Every structure is written in C-alpha cells, then in structure tokens.
Structure 1
Amino acid sequence: MKTLDRLWTVDEVADYLGVPVGTLYQWRCKRTGPPGRRIGKHLRYLPEDVREWVREQT
C-alpha cells in the first residue's frame, strides 16, 4: 500500500504554484482555487488535490 503524502501548507502550495500566499486565500474565498481543508485552525492541502486542480485548468 502506498504511503500518502503529507499535507501541504499554504506556503508550500503557493511555492508549488508560483503564486503569492494572498492569491491562495483570495481563490479560497471565491472557491476557484485548489481545495483546501481546515485542520484545527490551520489550512492544509492534499498534494493530489492540488495536482489535479492544476491538470483541470485550461
């Protein structure tokens, strides 16, 4: 069984996508960016969700 990747932080996703952190928060408010999840008070992303979101962009 494949071990799941650890969750990415907002900073890691911003770095991966090459966008400012503020852009991720704007996208989240508009529900247009990669899906994130609240883990307690922290926002985290599943790497596979971010990669899938990138593939879906035209």
Structure 2
Amino acid sequence: MATATPADPRTTLRAGLPDRYLTPDDIAEIFDVPKETVYQWSKKRTGPPGFRIGKHLRYDPTAVRTWVNDRMADNAA
C-alpha cells in the first residue's frame, strides 16, 4: 500500500491553491528565502499578508496569490 507524499508547496501554488493555510516554512520554500526573511516581511508588512492563530503565523493561499500578482503587475508597469 503506497502512502501519499506531501506535495511541494511551490508546485501546489503553481497548479492551484492548496486546500490549507500556509506556514512560514511553506512561504520560505515557495519563494526560496530564509524563514527569517518571512518573519521580517510579516513584521514590516512588506510580504504576503499573514494572520495569527494564537502564536502561529499562517497565510491564506488566495492572499498569497493576490500578493504575487500585485508584485508582477508592479514590475510590468
């Protein structure tokens, strides 16, 4: 019996939105940046918008996709 392996968050985001909230580790992997950068983005409010569940930082995949699209539009202009 084969067990399912977790999907690479970068592939999942490209193929469609994952069906779960993303963690700082996911964001770091998707954008190939250190996790500390993700926390700095959150602190400075310069990265994708996140929210807290208690002490845990989470990201809505829809908001991350919107943030990426906004960055791409800014760079195209």
So what's the TM-score if we normalise by structure 1?
A: 0.84
Q: Runs ≥4 in structure 1, deviation > 4 angstroms? A: none
Q: Percent identity?
A: 56
Question: What root-mean-square deviation, in Å, do the aligned CA atoms of Structure 1 and Structure 2 show?
Answer: 1.3
Q: Which protein is bigger by CA-based radius of gyration?
A: 2
1:21 equivalent in alignment to 2:35: yes
- Higher-RCO chain (CA-CA 8 Å, sequence separation at least 6): 1
Q: Which runs of 5 or more structure 1 residues have no equivalent in the other structure?
A: none
Letter in 1 for 2:61: P
Q: TM-score, normalised by structure 2?
A: 0.65
Where structure 2 has 5 or more consecutive residues not aligned to the other structure, the ranges are 1-17
Equivalent of residue 31 in structure 1, options 45, 48, 71: 45
